[in-house]
Amino acid sequence: MSADEEKAKKQREAGEREAARLWRAWRTVHEMVQDRGYELTDEEVKISFDNFKYNYASDGEEDIIDRKKMKFSARPSDAMMVRYSNPPTAADPNPASPDIGTIWVEFLPDSSVGIKQMRAFAQYLTSHNFHTGILVTNVNITPAALKIIPAVASETRIECFVEQDLLVNITHHELVPQHVLLSKEERTALLQRYRLKDTQLPRIQLGDPVARYFGLRRGQVVKIIRKSETAGRYASYRLCV
């Protein structure tokens, strides 16, 4: 094998490894969006590696994945809308629309992510009326850029993930129990049943990896279902803070 052939072979192998890495991150993001309750079909979520390469390869370079092609959006399902809705009451029989909407996911190819990229992402979300945006980067975002997220929170919600953290779906690990977000009505019923204030519940931090996976918000309550050798399954509840 000539030196040129050896070099080409190594480039193909490196491209294959990078493609496999991006495929895993892409799949985890789709599973995350689907698990939150957005409408995605299993065919969209469980795409094969070969189909991923075919769909997202750079034009004219089948061994290189184009991150710009990996963007997608999804609408909340009816069940998700219910979970985020305020239950009707005598005082408010027609509560306002739930604070949820279409989500936009984008993989950023830039080798550095600062204020410029974050502002552009926020502007895209607001101009296209996306309720939530997930920005997936291959490098860490600068602290200055992260300050833009709370600054635009009244207009759109921004979440950021690094590709490396998405190579494995943490919720599929055997040591991570099932988490189920309670609707506002279920949350109220739980507190009334046990005569508790929400602050008396055990807590889950907003920055907890599982809380980030499900996009939990402060004040929401999750039901955590664990396996038990004696009871089969038992549930506990945590307040997101």
Q: Going residue by residue through the chain (241 aa), what tens digit of pLDDT does each one get?
A: 777 777 777 777 888 999 999 999 999 999 999 999 999 999 999 999 999 999 999 987 777 999 999 999 999 999 999 999 988 777 888 888 789 999 999 999 999 999 999 999 999 999 999 999 999 999 999 999 999 999 999 999 999 999 999 999 999 999 999 999 999 999 999 999 999 999 999 999 999 999 999 999 999 999 999 987 777 888 999 999 9
Distance CA 107, CA 136 (A): 5
Q: Are the C-beta atoms of residues 30 and 59 closer than 8 Å to each other?
A: no
Provide the residue range defining the domain that includes 21: 3-54+69-168
Q: Is residue 76 part of a domain?
A: yes
Last residue of a domain, one of 114, 141, 168: 168
Q: Report if residue 64 sits inside a domain.
A: no
Does residue 38 fall inside a structural domain? Answer: yes
Gap between the Cα atoms of 146 and 144, Å rounded? 5
In this structure, the answer to whether residues 153 and 204 fall within a common structural domain is: no
Q: Where are the alpha helices (DSSP H) in the chain?
A: 3-36, 42-45, 49-56, 78-83, 115-127, 143-146, 148-151, 184-193, 209-214
Cβ atoms of 166 and 137 closer than 8 Å: no
Number of domains, the chain: 2
Q: Are residues 109 and 156 in the same domain?
A: yes
The residue among 97, 58, 83, 47 whose CA lies nearest residue 215 is 83
DSSP assignments along 11-43, one per residue: HHHHHHHHHHHHHHHHHHHHHHHHHHTB---HH
Q: Are residues 190 and 113 in the same domain?
A: no
Last residue of a domain, one of 168, 187, 208: 168
Q: What pTM did the predictor assign? A: 0.92
